[in-house]
């Protein structure tokens, strides 16, 4: 079976700006695949190439075994698309717009609108201009899923949803996966995809710099941990612990960066009276800043020719 | 699972419905105000006014207002009525693809299982339908007023002038639409079409003043009104040129629209 999405040496220029610089990607059918990268890395550009909104400068794109251009409307009928930045027509109500989009699909999906709207608490009779950012996002989720597409292409699908709705969204993705659909979702935060995606690709400056499973990536990204104790502690106690870096102690407060299991840190901390515990997954943006900072000048060959298959792993600086 | 023809057009019309009603009423009011004003002044007073005007006024065609047909032609069809139709057609034309693309509201239409050609043609149809409704509104108003006030406007010539206005407004709107579709920039569409409209208007009025008849042959405004359709009926040549302008603008927008990047 052909991969659901395959790009080889994909290049996209906007005038003199190179947005994609030889992107190689393969997403197997039935996968839930995370597409991660900082803002401006080329995520939306890649996605719009999949939908034939953009035409490639060089390289090839295949979606469900076809080039988006040749596949045309028949191919797009099999895709559900959630744009990252969508303007909604202000003069329609949510229901009118969703039914209009179903009509563009020959009526497919119309019967699921009410049910999906109910699941997400979306009021269909409200005009789109009156909707909050979160409610607009619900509209885009409903329209992407309503016709049970074989392939879902979701550009930052949950960025404005509250945690409860993010769970509902996750259920929707699971349902899609169960019926065999492929889900391709982009994000600039790892947390958004880690619970649903099996594997992830990281894109930076228009190239894939890493493809990995989610757990390995999380370990590499690390967490920022803050612990407050009842009485002052000594930094030396924490300094040598495995997976711990950037330990700073100020009186009763200890901050550090944790990679991997928190077990050793917890054991040491438990010797004291812990008043407050806070740990936050690091934004990929930060991770990339770190990549850039640590880079040896000249270590990354910029804009080499559109090379095929994964010679780029070395670019990931540990 | 084929998509019914007209789905996109109906959706776009639904979005414009309030504005459309406003425009239809506005041109009807303008036509009414000009025309209702005519009997209260009367041809005699116009004659006195004309004598007091400088020669240039006669060159510019103001002497035609001595008849009701000439008056309606010089006011509704040449001035405010035409301007309103143009403003509506150009702004709508530039918005229907380029404006909505810039606002992001077309992204889901473009990624739906419909061809770009389909989006282009159905949205272009909305433009022409809108211009048609405005022209019908003007024509109907004038027909009613003509019989109510006994102005003696000939329906056949009224229809000739209205056909010209439809093609003129439609063609200029199509220029805005086509340039917008080709570039994805609403501002460029409006800019090109309104510049063309201004040049067309200037050429039409400057041509007799500076004795340069070639200017009229390059002015879409002259193609439309130069032959005084309200006095002389259909002007086949002018109408054909306007239709040709619309087709050139339409094809000129359609070809690049099918090839370019969308939503950038």
Residue ranges and CATH numbers for the domains of chain A are 5-218 (3.40.50.300), 223-281 (3.30.70.2470)
Least confident of A208-222, A232-246, B82-96, B160-174: A208-222
Q: Is residue B114 within 8 angstroms of chain A, CB to CB?
A: yes
In a domain, B55, yes or no: yes
Contact assignment for A53 to B259 by CB distance below 8 Å: no
Burial class (CB in 10 A: 0-12, 13-18, 19+), A10: buried
Task: Note whether A54 contacts B264, CB cutoff 8 Å.
Answer: yes
**More confident: A42 or A188:** A42
Q: Is residue B246 part of a domain?
A: yes
Total tally of structural domains belonging to chain B:
1
Supply the pLDDT for residue A285: 61
Cα pseudo-dihedral A35, A41, A45, A51, rounded to 10: 0
A317 compared with B63, residue with greater pLDDT: B63
CA-to-CA distance for B172 and A193, rounded, in angstroms? 49
Tokens 């693309």: give the residue. B101
Chain A interface includes B6 (CB < 8 A)? no
Radius of gyration for chain A, computed over Cα atoms and rounded to the nearest angstrom: 22
Testing the interface with B: which of A103, A149, A155 to mutate, by most B Cβ within 10 A?
A: A103
Q: Which residue of B has its CA nearest to A76?
A: B113
Say if B228 falls within a structural domain.
yes
Shortest CA gap B29–chain A (Å): 26
Residue A218 near residue A191, CB atoms below 8 Å: no
> In terms of pLDDT, which residue wins out, A141 or B39?
A141
> Cα–Cα distance between B149 and B147 in angstroms, integer?
6
pLDDT band at A317 (very low <50, low <70, confident <90, very high): very low
Comparing A18-22, B14-18, B65-69, the range with the smallest average pLDDT is B65-69
Question: Would the CB atoms of B112 and A108 count as touching at under 8 Å?
Answer: no
Mean pLDDT, range B8-19, rounded to an integer: 93
Average pLDDT over residues A104-115: 96
| Mean of the per-residue pLDDT values of chain A | 87
Q: Quick one: average pLDDT of B58-82?
A: 79
Expressed as residue numbers, the domain containing B36 is: 7-259
* A/B interface, count of CB pairs below 8 Å: 86
A88 chain-B contacts, CB cut-off 8 A: 105
Average pLDDT rounded to a whole number, residues B57-69: 66
Which of A202-216, B3-17, B232-246 is least confident? A202-216
- The minimal CB distance from A105 to the residues B18, B110, B112 is found for B112
Q: Which chain B residues have a beta carbon less than 8 Å from that of A72?
A: 115
Q: Is there a domain that residue B135 lies in? A: yes
B21 touches chain A (CB under 8 A): no
pLDDT band at B60 (very low <50, low <70, confident <90, very high): low
- In the prediction, which pLDDT does A288 show? 59
Say what the pTM is.
0.84
Strand partners of residue A187: A36
- Closest CA–CA distance from residue B118 to any residue of chain A (Å): 11
Contact with chain A for residue B109, Cβ under 8 A: yes
Strand order in the sheet with A5-14: A17-27, A5-14, A58-63
What tokens does B198 get?
């201004």
pLDDT at A196: 87
Return the DSSP state at A296.
P
Answer whether A53 sits within 8 Å of B262, measured CB to CB.
Answer: yes
A14 CB neighbours in chain B (<8 A) are 261, 264
**C-alpha span between B189 and B175 (Å, rounded):** 7
Examine the pLDDT at A240 and tell me if it is beyond 80.
yes
Please tell me whether residue A263 adopts helix, strand or coil conformation.
Answer: helix
pLDDT at A71: 96
In a domain, B1, yes or no: no
Chain A residue with minimal CA distance to B17?
A: A91
Query: Is residue B52 one of the residues assigned to a domain?
Result: yes
What pLDDT, in 10s, does the model give residues B155-171? 999 999 999 999 999 99
Q: Indicate yes or no: CB of B259 within 8 angstroms of CB of A55.
A: yes
Cα–Cα nearest to B86, from B160, B218, B195: B195
Any CB–CB contact under 8 A between A89 and chain B?
Answer: yes
**Nearest chain B CA: its distance from A14 CA (Å):** 9
pLDDT single digits (tens) B76-111? 999 999 999 999 999 999 999 999 999 999 999 999
Instruction: Give pLDDT tens digits for A65-86.
Output: 999 999 999 999 999 999 998 7
Q: Is residue B202 part of a domain?
A: yes
Least confidently predicted of A13-22, A307-316, B167-176: A307-316
pLDDT above 90 (res A287)? no
Interface pTM (ipTM) of the complex?
Answer: 0.89
The answer to whether residue A234 neighbours chain B at the CB level (below 8 Å) is no
If pLDDT is split at 50, 70 and 90, which confidence band does A34 have? very high
A279-290: b (≥16 Cβ within 10 Å) or e: eeebbbeebbeb
Please judge whether A87 and B107 are an interchain contact, meaning their C-beta atoms are less than 8 angstroms apart. yes
Residue with tokens 């359609």: B254
A136 vs B: CB within 8 A: no
Tell if the CB–CB gap between B14 and A108 is shorter than 8 Å. Answer: no
pLDDT at A181 over 90: yes
* B7 at A interface, C-beta within 8 A: yes
Whether B264 is covered by a domain: the verdict is no
Residue of B59, B46, B74, B33 lying closest to B229 (CA atoms): B74
**What residue spans of chain A are helical by DSSP H?**
43-50, 68-76, 94-104, 113-120, 133-145, 163-178, 190-194, 214-221, 235-239, 263-270, 284-294
pLDDT of A307 over the 60 cut: no
Q: What is the dihedral of CA A86, B16, A103, B117, to 10 degrees?
A: -80
Interface test with A, best of B108, B120, B184 (most A CBs within 10 A): B108
pLDDT at residue A46 above 80? yes
Task: Tell me phi and psi for residue A184, to 5 degrees.
Answer: -120, 110
List CB contacts of A188: < 8 A, sequence separation 6 or more: A36, A37, A38, A39, A43, A156, A283, A284, A285
């Amino acid at each position: 079976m052909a991969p659901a999405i395959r790009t080889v040496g994909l290049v996209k220029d906007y005038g003199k700006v190179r947005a994609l610089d030889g992107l190689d990607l393969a997403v197997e059918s039935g996968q839930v695949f995370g597409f991660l990268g900082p803002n401006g890395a080329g995520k939306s550009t890649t996605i719009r190439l999949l939908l034939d909104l953009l035409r490639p400068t060089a390289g090839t794109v295949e979606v469900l075994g076809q080039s988006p251009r040749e596949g045309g409307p028949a191919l797009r009928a099999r895709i559900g698309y959630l744009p990252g930045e969508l303007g909604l027509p202000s003069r329609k109500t949510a229901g009118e717009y969703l039914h209009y989009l179903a009509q563009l699909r020959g009526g497919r999906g119309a019967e699921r609108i009410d049910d999906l709207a109910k699941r997400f608490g979306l009021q269909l009779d409200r005009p789109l201009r009156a909707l909050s950012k979160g409610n607009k996002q619900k509209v885009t989720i409903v329209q992407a899923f309503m016709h049970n597409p074989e392939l879902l292409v979701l550009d930052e699908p949950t960025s404005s949803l509250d945690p409860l709705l993010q769970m509902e969204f996750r259920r929707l993705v699971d349902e899609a996966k169960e019926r065999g659909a492929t889900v391709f979702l982009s994000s600039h935060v790892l947390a958004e995809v880690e619970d649903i995606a099996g594997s992830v690709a990281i894109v930076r400056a228009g190239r894939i710099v890493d493809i990995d499973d989610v757990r390995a990536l999380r370990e590499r990204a690390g967490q920022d941990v803050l612990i407050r104790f009842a009485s002052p502690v000594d930094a030396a106690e924490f300094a040598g612990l495995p997976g711990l870096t950037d330990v700073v102690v100020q009186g009763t407060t200890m901050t550090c960066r944790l990679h991997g299991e928190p077990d050793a840190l917890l054991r040491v901390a438990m010797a004291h009276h812990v008043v407050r515990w806070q740990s936050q997954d690091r934004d990929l943006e930060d991770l990339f800043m770190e990549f850039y900072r640590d880079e040896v000048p000249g270590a990354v060959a910029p804009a080499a020719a559109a090379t095929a298959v994964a010679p780029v792993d070395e670019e990931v600086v540990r | 699972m084929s998509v019914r023809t007209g789905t996109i057009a109906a959706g776009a019309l639904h979005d414009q419905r309030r504005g459309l009603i406003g425009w239809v009423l506005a041109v009807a009011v303008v036509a009414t105000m000009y025309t209702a004003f005519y009997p209260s002044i009367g041809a005699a007073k116009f004659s006195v006014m004309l004598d007091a005007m400088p020669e240039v006024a006669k060159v510019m065609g103001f002497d035609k207002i001595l008849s009701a047909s000439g008056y309606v032609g010089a006011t509704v069809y040449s001035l405010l009525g035409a301007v309103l139709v143009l403003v509506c057609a150009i702004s709508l034309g530039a918005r229907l693809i380029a404006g909505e693309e810039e606002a992001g509201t077309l992204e889901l239409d473009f990624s739906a299982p419909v061809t770009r050609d389909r989006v282009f043609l159905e949205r272009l149809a909305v433009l022409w339908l809108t211009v048609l409704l405005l022209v019908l509104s003007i024509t109907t108003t004038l027909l009613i007023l003509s019989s109510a006030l006994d102005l003696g406007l000939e329906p056949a010539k009224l229809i000739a002038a209205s056909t010209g206005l439809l093609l003129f407004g439609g063609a200029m709107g199509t220029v805005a639409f086509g340039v917008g579709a080709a570039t994805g920039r609403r501002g460029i569409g409006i800019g090109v079409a309104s510049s063309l409209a201004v040049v067309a208007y200037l050429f039409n009025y400057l041509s007799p003043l500076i004795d340069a008849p070639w200017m009229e042959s390059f002015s879409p405004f002259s193609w439309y009104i130069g032959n005084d359709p309200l006095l002389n009926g259909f002007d086949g040549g002018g109408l054909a040129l306007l239709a040709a302008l619309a087709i050139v603008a339409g094809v000129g927008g359609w070809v690049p629209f099918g090839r370019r990047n969308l939503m950038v």
